[in-house]
Amino acid sequence: MADTTPQPAATPAPTTPGGPKSMDAIMALCKRRGFVFQASDIYGGINGFWDYGPLGAQLKKNLREAWWQDMIMNPAWGRKGPNGERVRCVPLETCIIQHPKVWEASGHVAGFNDPMVDDKETKGRFRADHLQGLYQIGDYESPLADLLARTASTGGAVPVCTVVASSAGEAIDQLLNTRKLQKELGIRTITSRTPLTDSTRPFVSVDMGNLKADCEVLAVPMPTLKSRFAEVPSPFTGKKGVLTEPRQFNLMFFTYTGAVFNEESKVHLRPETAQGIFVHFKNVVDSTRVKIPFGIGNTGRSFRNEVTPRNFTFRSREFEQAELEFFCHPDESQDWYRFWRDFRMEWWRSIGLAGENLILREHEKDELSHYSCGTSDVEYRFPFTAPGFGELEGIAHRGNYDLTQHQTHSKVKLDYFDTTRGETLPNGSKKGERYIPHCIEPAAGLDRGALALICEAYTVDPSRPSPEFLKLHPRVAPIKAAVFPLVDKDGMPEVAEKLADALFARFGRHGFIETDAKQSIGKRYARMDEAGCPYCFTVDGDTLKDQTVTVRDRDTGRQERIGLDAVPAWLGERLGL
Ligand code: GAP
């Protein structure tokens, strides 16, 4: 039986203005207006898979195209890079299924495994190596908060915080020093404190803003977790005897090629688009005139059999990535890393994620992979991560790790001969230098991007005809404009249709131009507000006399009159098209 996802409540309470945004209300709006549907909805859905409705599909297309335009066709908005030259990038489109050796070389066969533990009663599942007692890394719904709330309200026993560590000291140390985790979970402060009742058992005090509590810390060494899992308290309930033995779980989906199903025909669905780029590095260099430094971009579906898909589309099992691998000389790599890190932050801001909900977080040294000399995440404060943040995009300095790995596994030379470097010869030319380029990787998730845009745009104002509406940035808004006749008679529909045709001819490839003559004008505006349409043009009695129309701004609700003929130019200026 397929694992199914519960639907959001049928009529969730909209968010209180100024208060935290309600994820249930956002999900309900997404379904009501056709942004996001559960995959296989009429069969009850399938956990970890989401489809986009008409508006969502266009929103995501606009996001993908904005990325493509600003990262590939006109990279970094035509800016010069740290080398003083215009940034150059080319696209690639690679298969979901690759040769099995690709995933051996990339490390995904050996390293994309998580040891998983299940709670047999709650069906909760978590990574054994991240068993931080009452919560887990990368899981944005915090069982810690639930447990503390329950304990506080019932005056129950002190919660036990189980940590995989070899000693109590190490456990406390992990708890106090996992800053990323604390941020994600909204822990403001966590301090070690004198034991409450028993001097042999350590405690921590956790402050989560509205919740403050003491937790007992229980250190469980990994070998113990494996052999005596039944004695480890469940991180969800604190109960013993309900956990299963940790089992290795590879996050890659697999299938078979050809008619025979055996180990030889087994292939994986890609868990990232990046590797398709590395394996074609030489083909791109040989087939185009690109010279280092340059980037190769790739967008498309990736698949990860996430153990706990959750938080709407945030952690899905099928999702879309937009990745750039930017190849450069090792000596320039730090400059390029900073360049892309800063540009990516600016880019997300430019499409509507401005404000304090967006942050750039530089990884701590101990968070970096062994080959990386720098990684930053662009993070957004989603309603389900607040007050913490969730990753939208990672910008990693990957050194020459990937090309070296593929060179070793494929036995094909993936180095680069740079004719602009090396000693200067007597004839004035350079001797040249051979090296394996370093790589900077801005890796974005388009589903998380679309979700962040929707969450940021979602606004509640009970004084408006549409108490909930989406302030989507015009560049990504799926409906670019609406044209309405005030009433469905007196020649107004004909004028409106002509105007809609003109707008469609100019802007139709960027999004919908809506027309609608039914219902009151207030209801039609409200529908457009909920769909995030930035401008509505209304043809009324005066239009027929003075050739002007009303234009209504979604965000302010203000109306002004402009000439009928001026509408395409007026709209083009505001849409930046
Ligand atoms: N090549 C590097 C790479 O794949 P990643 O951080 O694993 O890095 C990049 O993935 C982006 O892909 C993430 O920042 C996120 O936006 C998106 N992503 C990763 N796993 C996802 C999932 N299960 N569901 C939705 N988006 C995901």
Tally of CB atoms within 10 A around 311? 19
pLDDT score of 219: 67
In a domain, 25, yes or no: no
Inside any domain, residue 412: yes
Residue 286, domain member (yes or no): yes
Q: Which residue in the block uniquely carries the two structure tokens 């998983």?
A: 116
Give the single-character DSSP code of 293.
Answer: S
Q: What was the pLDDT predicted at 347?
A: 98
Distance 104 CA to ligand 1 centre (A): 19
Give the model's pLDDT for residue 242.
87
Whole-prediction pTM value? 0.82
Mark whether 299 and 412 lie in a shared domain.
yes
pLDDT, residue 136, reads 32
Whether 381 shows a pLDDT value over 60: the answer reads yes
pLDDT at 159 over 70: no
Is residue 361 domain-shared with residue 405, that is, in the same domain? yes
Give the residue from 427, 456, 485 where a domain finishes.
456
Is 6 domain-assigned? no
Q: For residue range 471-502, what is the model confidence (pLDDT) as tens digits?
A: 999 999 999 999 999 999 999 999 999 999 99
How many domains does the chain contain in total? 3
Task: Look at 273 and 463; give whichever has higher pLDDT.
Answer: 273
Q: 195-204, 300-309, 372-381, 489-498: which range is least confident on average?
A: 195-204
- Judge if 364 and 501 occupy the same domain: no
**Domain shared by 340 and 409, yes or no:** yes
Of 456, 491, 523, the residue that ends a domain is 456
Mean of pLDDT over the chain: 86
Q: What is the CATH number of the domain that holds 409?
A: 3.30.930.10
- Phi first, then psi: what are they for 224, rounded to 5°? -65, -40
Q: What is the mean pLDDT of residues 283-287?
A: 97
Of the spans 9-23, 241-255, 381-395, 521-535, which averages the highest pLDDT? 521-535
Q: Given a cut of 90, is residue 411 above it in pLDDT? A: yes
Q: Is the C-beta atom of 443 inside 6 A of ligand 1?
A: yes
> Whose alpha carbon is nearest atom 18 of ligand 1?
445
Domain presence at residue 45: no
Q: Does 38 fall in a domain?
A: no
Token readout for 227 is 């052999």
* CA separation for the pair 275, 488 (Å, rounded): 56
Q: Is residue 61 part of a domain?
A: yes
Residue 571 confidence (pLDDT) above 80: yes
149 has pLDDT over 70: no
Q: Each residue of 434-464: pLDDT tens digit?
A: 999 999 999 999 999 999 999 999 999 999 8
Q: Is the pLDDT of residue 18 over 70?
A: no
**pLDDT value of residue 502:** 97
Same domain, 288 and 209: no
Say which range, 54-63, 364-373, 399-408, 481-490, has the weakest mean pLDDT: 364-373
- Kindly state if the Cβ of 460 falls inside 6 Å of ligand 1: no
Write down the pLDDT at residue 148. Answer: 53
- Ligand 1 mutation pick, 307, 393, 448, max ligand atoms within 8 A of CB: 448
Extract the tokens encoding 252.
């890659």
CB-side neighbour CA atoms (13 Å) of 482:
28
pLDDT band of residue 368 (cuts 50, 70, 90) is confident
Say which residue, 238 or 105, is predicted with more confidence.
105
What pLDDT, on the 0 to 100 scale, is given for residue 5?
A: 38
pLDDT of residue 146: 53
Interatomic CA distance for residues 124 and 244, integer angstroms:
11
Q: Which domain holds residue 510?
A: 477-575
CATH number reported for the structural domain that contains residue 510 in this entry: 3.40.50.800
Give the residue among 341, 374, 332 at the shortest CA–CA distance from 360: 341
For the Cβ of 392 lying below 6 angstroms from any atom of ligand 1, the answer is: yes
Q: Considering only 136-145, 217-226, 296-305, 317-326, which range has the smallest mean pLDDT?
A: 136-145
Q: Write the CA distances from 56 to 317, 477, 498, integer angstroms.
A: 18, 10, 27
Rounded to the nearest angstrom, the distance between the alpha carbon of 303 and the centre of ligand 1 is 10
Where does the pLDDT of residue 116 fall: very low under 50, low under 70, confident under 90, or very high at 90 and above? confident
The lowest-confidence range among 102-116, 212-226, 379-393 is 212-226
Is the pLDDT reported for residue 132 higher than 80?
no
pLDDT digits (tens, 9 = 90+) for 36-95: 999 999 999 999 999 999 999 999 999 999 999 999 999 999 999 999 999 999 999 999
CB 147 near ligand 1, within 6 Å: no
Residue 100: is the preceding peptide bond cis (ω within 30°)? no
**Phi/psi at 159 (5° precision):** -65, 145
Phi/psi for 487 (5° steps) reads: -130, 160
Same domain, 412 and 524: no
Look at ligand 1, atom 6, and give the residue with the nearest C-alpha: 394
Torsion angle, alpha carbons of 18, 135, 108, 45, to 10: -60
Does residue 427 share a domain with residue 303?
A: yes
Q: Is the beta carbon of 315 within 6 A of some atom in ligand 1?
A: yes
319/452 same-domain check: yes
Write down the pLDDT at residue 135. 34
Does residue 347 sit in the same domain as residue 404? yes
Classify 113 as helix, strand or coil: strand
Q: How confident is the model at residue 8 (pLDDT cuts 50, 70, 90)?
A: very low
Query: 223 with 264, same domain?
Result: no
CA of 445 to the centre of ligand 1 (A): 5
Question: Nearest Cα to 382, choosing from 6, 21, 19?
Answer: 21
Give me Rg for the CA atoms of the chain.
27
Instruction: Tell me the pLDDT band of 130, cut-offs 50, 70 and 90.
Output: low
CA 8–ligand 1 middle distance (angstroms): 24
Asked whether residue 273 falls in the same domain as residue 409, the answer is yes
pLDDT at 152 over 80: no
Write the residue with the smallest CA distance to atom 4 of ligand 1. Answer: 272
Whether residues 320 and 409 fall in one domain: yes
- Is residue 274 in contact with ligand 1, taking CB distance under 6 Å? yes
- Residue at which a domain ends, from 202, 225, 249: 249
Using CA positions, which residue lies closest to atom 12 of ligand 1?
Answer: 445
Give residue-wise pLDDT tens across range 180-192.
Answer: 556 655 667 777 7
Q: Which residue has the higher pLDDT, 213 or 53?
A: 53
Residue 201's pLDDT is 60
pLDDT(226) > 80: no
| Residue 17 placed within a domain | no
